[in-house]
Amino acid sequence: MAFGWIDEQARLRRRAGLVRTLRPRPAVSPLLDLASNDYLGLARHPEVTEGAARAARLWGGGSTGSRLVTGSTELHAELERELADFCGVEAALVFSSGYAANLAAVTALAPHGSLIVSDAGNHASLIDGCRLARGTTQVVAHAEPEAVRKALHTHGGTAITVSDTVFSVDGDAAPLAALAEACREHGAGLVVDDAHGLGVLGDGGRGAPHAAGLAGADDVVVTVTLSKSLGSQGGAVLGPARVIDHLVNAARTFIFDTGLAPAAAGAALSALRLLRREPERAARVRAVAGELHARLTAAGLEAVRPDAAVVSVRAPSPEDAVRWAAGCRAAGLAVGCFRPPSVPDGISRLRLTARADLTAEQIERAVRLIGETRP
């Protein structure tokens, strides 16, 4: 029977405690939110929602086509200019998602005969970019510049190293300066995904590459998402102008995908401008993450020290992680639940995300509920 094999896959998932389900949320939720990626608390900010509404009224509900046909508006160009200026790079190119931006950057910058050195902890979008690229991929140990150096040493041709700047599971930061040094020793490019760094790290939230002194480097390409700190949707690739020009001509997820909806572009642009005016939001989210970690560890929980906004709490098993997250939800707290295969090390976790708008009382309540519902 067609698709009969799906039943066996479903049975195996149930037995392993790995079934995932959709849970539509209401417009206004009673839950305390430590599950979303709205790090700066901007998704519902009046300026951001008005930016989305204004763009939709002016430009319409959709972009109407691919960026190279009718899908590029003056609004897209304005967002690209301001993103590039804010992050300290020559140029930017906006995509319909951060996933599409990562696929574009990796596939277009790793032609046939090239080597891609990929961190073992990279996000699925970078992994899929490696799979789709025509180059050869070598996966190396997590956050180990020496492993990158050894891999590049075995290859004499074109090469890139790809890495998250802040890894989405444990929230640990990549050693960007050391990775750039290893790449430069071998004439390789560095492609980094700053989805969890933009708006959180660097001067005023300008991102992890800016903090590492790599902003504007001619051998570094940065991808970002507009759906986390900027409270919108979409993604972008930032870097040297010649790289951006190359993506316009060679990146399939740019050429053949419908452009980002104007409302999302308008929301992201409003959020970016707000962050420029209120750079203290970046420092605040880091402080909240540190406070969550300190309180969780003081309560006897195994939490990983955060380098940005993600705080990871280890769970005994996938089943315990699911029950723990469900217990938190029943008590009024939304948290993330990461289990295999989403976690490369096989360790299940609760994943908490700090937000700049969390109060001291909300932090205290969250830690208390996590402690009370632990397996």
Distance CA 96, CA 121 (A): 24
**Same-domain status, 172 and 33:** no
Please tell me the predicted confidence (pLDDT) of residue 340. 79
Residue 295 lies in domain: 28-43+279-372
Indicate whether 247 belongs to any domain. yes
**Same-domain status, 266 and 219:** yes
**Same-domain status, 272 and 283:** no
**Same-domain status, 145 and 174:** yes
Indicate whether 6 belongs to any domain. no
CATH number assigned to the domain comprising residue 39: 3.90.1150.10
Please tell me the predicted confidence (pLDDT) of residue 339. 83
| Residue where a domain stops, chosen among 277, 309, 340 | 277
Please tell me the predicted confidence (pLDDT) of residue 354. 97
Please tell me the predicted confidence (pLDDT) of residue 347. 84
**Same-domain status, 214 and 349:** no
**Same-domain status, 180 and 107:** yes
Q: Which residues of 186-209 are buried (b: 16+ CB within 10 A; e: fewer)?
A: bebbbbbbbbbbbbbbbebbbbbb
| Residue where a domain stops, chosen among 277, 308, 334 | 277
Task: Kindly give the confidence (pLDDT) of every residue in the chain, 375 residues in length, as a single tens digit, with 9 standing for 90 and above.
Answer: 899 999 999 999 888 777 888 889 899 999 999 999 999 999 999 999 999 999 999 999 999 999 999 999 999 999 999 999 999 999 999 999 999 999 999 999 999 999 999 999 999 999 999 999 999 999 999 999 999 999 999 998 999 999 999 998 889 999 999 999 999 999 999 999 999 999 999 999 999 999 999 999 999 999 999 999 999 999 999 999 999 999 999 999 999 999 999 999 999 999 999 999 999 999 999 999 999 999 999 999 999 999 999 999 999 988 899 999 999 999 999 999 988 777 766 789 999 999 999 999 999 999 999 999 998
Indicate whether 5 belongs to any domain. no
Count the neighbouring beta carbons within 10 Å of the beta carbon of residue 13: 12
Our CA dihedral for 76, 77, 82, 88, rounded to 10 degrees, sits at 120
Distance CA 111, CA 42 (A): 38
| Residue where a domain stops, chosen among 256, 277, 298 | 277
Question: How far is residue 55 from each of residues 73, 76, 263, 303, measured CA to CA in Å?
Answer: 11, 11, 5, 41
Please tell me the predicted confidence (pLDDT) of residue 20. 82
Distance CA 114, CA 100 (A): 21
- Provide the whole-model pTM: 0.95
In DSSP notation, 299-351 reads TT--EEPPSSSEEEEE-SSHHHHHHHHHHHHHTTEEEEEE-TTSSTT---EEE
**Same-domain status, 303 and 367:** yes
**Same-domain status, 101 and 244:** yes
The domain total for the chain is 2
**Same-domain status, 221 and 297:** no
